[in-house]
Structure 1
Amino acid sequence: MSDEKLMSKKKPAFPVNAKLDAYLGKYSRKIEIPIFYEDLLRFSGSIAVEDREGNDTLWVRVYYSEFEREEIDLSLKKVYSILHSDGSERILDYLNIDAIDYCTFGNSKPFRIKVRNILNDNYTHFYVKKTDASRVYGLELEHMLSPYNLNFLVYKDTLIEEHIAGIPGDEFIKENLPKCTESQKAQLAKEFVKFNERCMIRLLGDMRSYNYVIVPVHDFDHVVYRIRAIDFDQQCFEGKFKVYLPQFFKENNAMVDLVTKKLQNYSVEQYKIEERSIVAKRILSSGNRIKRLVNIAKTDTISIPDNVARLQSELYEFTHDVEFKKCKKMGQVLATALEFVKRNYEDVSMKQIMEKRF
């Protein structure tokens, strides 16, 4: 199936409602910042950003008038301090805004800010985007249900996201995968199975290879690979169930081939069970925080009725859980999916306890 048929042509942005806004305030995600996304759109010129081989990256480096650039640089330094430090201005003299890049591809059209410490030349990035409720739900769910914490800020119509370091999946598949040892390929296959399962459970869609990164982690005498999502625009929007399974995108064919060649069916099922159990434990340990978020999502509008109807129908066919048939909102579909995973984990755990007892 082609991606054009699998994905909708364009996903609309959904506003952050009052309940979600209050949630963000409660958990220190809503903090006043000195610059808005719209301010960065006032650039006076740009040039294309190319990769090491001279290919167009679909990013452009933007420029501002001298007066505006001074004000924008100062504001972006303050944003960095709020995002990564205590928000004070004492570190601003040691920071420099090396580049402001604008992406012309995709829904979010983000700005990428490169910040350098002038004392030691260490640098990092952060992103400035338009606020979208889907993206906010996606970031929060990633923070609570994945192995990774995420740092982001929301203020009115502007979203600030920290940079997630790693090798872009498409670049890794092209440049790094052919050089991996057979053992590393088997480990990557295992990680892709777990990533595939995790995206499906929390309904994170469109994980084509350029929407995730692969992170090499050195562990004693070998390298372990982890896969991290970096794009959360397609959280709980699409109606086609396959959109939430990275295995069905042609850009991931090389990873799917690894799974087929390196893992037996029994191992694949075992890794799926492991990931479902880990996610269930995270749901339980997140307590009231995830309950609050999901309850807000259940009454929010984050998709269109046709998508909700199709997804709840396809999930019923997949799980045979009649609760999916009752869903009228996409947040209700999400809540039912998470409850299904949690309930199955608790049922298995109780069965094991009873077997040991008797």
Structure 2
Amino acid sequence: LLSNYLTAQGRNIKIPIFYDDLLRFQGAVEVFDANGKDTLWISCYYAEYERDEIDLSLKQVYSILHSDGSDSIIPYLNIDSIDFCTFGNTKPFRIKVRNILNDNYIFLYIKKADASRIYGLELEDILSPNHINFLVHRDTLIEEHISGIPGDTYISEYLNTISEQDKRALAKEFVKFNERCFVRLLADMRSYNYVIVITYDFDRKQYRIRAVDFDQQSYEGNPKVYKPQFLKENNALVNMSLKVLAKESIEQYEKEERSLLAKRAKSEHKRLNHLIKCMKKDIISSPEKVKQLKKGLFNLTGDVRIKRSKNMGELLNAVLQFVIRNYQNENPYIIK
């Protein structure tokens, strides 16, 4: 079912290289940042007889992901590096693709595909204000790079230097991000699993927090894990938000985000229903975690539909329906 859904959405496309192909590197060197700190990435090198074929395949992947899939742009591309991450359970490859005409470059990521991650990416595209570009073929997942400052880097290097106005703007976004993750059941949003995007707008900065890791979509049993505010890595943002925002403001932003989620869910209801239908037929998590999460969410909402849910797909559907019923403002001036 999920494969059929991805095909219908133009995500399931034949690609010329697989994740396992990139594992055939002959050696690697550690990659350090500007301060000499180990980034937990290693730069891979391959046998000479394989490198040309791998480079050509990666250029074709770039063309499929960002263009029309033709070979017309390939002569102007160069694969500068192929890095492998040794941290966490995703173990992605990061590919740096450079345009040799102007030296502009872009990253793309190649990972092992699994159902939870794919559901997370699709739900991000449907229910968040962010567009996600990715492709799937068999057990290989291709993702575009999400630009921004890693959350842990921003917290340690910039958070204490920004103005009070910027702190309020960032706090507002953190409250909305926190609520969005909870409603759509995206867990484990520690500070290194999201980025902070800054946009300059006249005399102020606008902030957006974007998830970059979707492995824990509808997987955990503890409801608190779905709220970034309860993760210790985010304590600095939580304390800042409580300091600069009044309780009434926090409640207002939470309601705003629930209303926006309800609107997005209704406007994309056909696609969302198709995806949730796949989730209901899939085994995403263990029965024990489903039971634990169901109990926790029922205690919060008192919604009998949540109590009757049998799996993570039904649970997510029940939560979204609860939000639509309670936070979708009915405007009498909208023609139905």
- Which of these residues, 275, 278, 289, is aligned with residue 260 of structure 2? 278
Could you tell me whether the CA contact under 8 Å between 1:34 and 1:75 is conserved in 2?
yes
Which deviations, in whole Å up to 9, do the C-alpha atoms of 1:70-101 show, x marking residues without a partner? 10000000000000000000100000000000
* TM-score, scaled to structure 1: 0.92
Could you tell me whether the CA contact under 8 Å between 1:298 and 1:335 is conserved in 2?
no
Cα distance in structure 2, aligned partners of 1:99 and 1:162:
16
Letter of the 2:29 counterpart? I
The answer to which of 192-201 and 337-346 deviates more is: 337-346
Alpha-carbon offset, residue 345 of structure 1: 2.4
Cα distance in structure 1, aligned partners of 2:75 and 2:20:
25
Match of 2:274 in 1: 292
Letter of the 2:285 counterpart? S
Cα distance in structure 1, aligned partners of 2:278 and 2:324:
19
Alpha-carbon offset, residue 259 of structure 1: 1.1
- Which of these residues, 145, 165, 174, is aligned with residue 192 of structure 1? 174
- Which of these residues, 255, 259, 263, is aligned with residue 241 of structure 2? 259
Match of 1:229 in 2: 211
Could you tell me whether the CA contact under 8 Å between 1:241 and 1:315 is conserved in 2?
yes
Cα distance in structure 2, aligned partners of 1:206 and 1:57:
20
The answer to whether 1:178 aligns with 2:160 is: yes
Could you tell me whether the CA contact under 8 Å between 1:81 and 1:87 is conserved in 2?
yes
The answer to whether 1:101 aligns with 2:83 is: yes
Alpha-carbon offset, residue 353 of structure 1: 4.5
- Which of these residues, 121, 125, 129, is aligned with residue 103 of structure 2? 121
Cα distance in structure 1, aligned partners of 2:116 and 2:133:
16
Alpha-carbon offset, residue 219 of structure 1: 0.5
Identity %: 60
- Which of these residues, 58, 69, 79, is aligned with residue 76 of structure 1? 58
Alpha-carbon offset, residue 121 of structure 1: 0.3
RMSD between aligned residues: 1.0
* TM-score, scaled to structure 2: 0.98
The answer to whether 1:321 aligns with 2:303 is: yes
Match of 2:13 in 1: 31
Letter of the 2:35 counterpart? E
Alpha-carbon offset, residue 277 of structure 1: 0.3
Alpha-carbon offset, residue 271 of structure 1: 0.2
Which deviations, in whole Å up to 9, do the C-alpha atoms of 1:325-346 show, x marking residues without a partner? 1111111111111111111124
Could you tell me whether the CA contact under 8 Å between 2:255 and 2:327 is conserved in 1?
no
Match of 1:332 in 2: 314
Letter of the 1:286 counterpart? E
Letter of the 2:121 counterpart? L
Which deviations, in whole Å up to 9, do the C-alpha atoms of 1:135-187 show, x marking residues without a partner? 00000000010001110000001000000000000000011112111100011
Match of 2:92 in 1: 110
Cα distance in structure 2, aligned partners of 1:26 and 1:297:
16
Cα distance in structure 2, aligned partners of 1:98 and 1:190:
38
Alpha-carbon offset, residue 287 of structure 1: 2.3
The answer to whether 1:136 aligns with 2:118 is: yes
The answer to whether 1:201 aligns with 2:183 is: yes
Letter of the 2:250 counterpart? V
The answer to whether 1:215 aligns with 2:200 is: no
Q: Secondary structure at the match of 2:242?
A: helix
Could you tell me whether the CA contact under 8 Å between 2:135 and 2:143 is conserved in 1?
yes
Moved >3 Å (runs of 4+): none
The answer to whether 1:156 aligns with 2:138 is: yes
Structure 1: which 5+ runs fail to align?
Answer: 1-18
Letter of the 2:261 counterpart? V
Letter of the 1:242 counterpart? K
Q: Secondary structure at the match of 1:119?
A: coil
Letter of the 1:237 counterpart? Y
Cα distance in structure 1, aligned partners of 2:87 and 2:148:
20
The answer to whether 1:239 aligns with 2:224 is: no
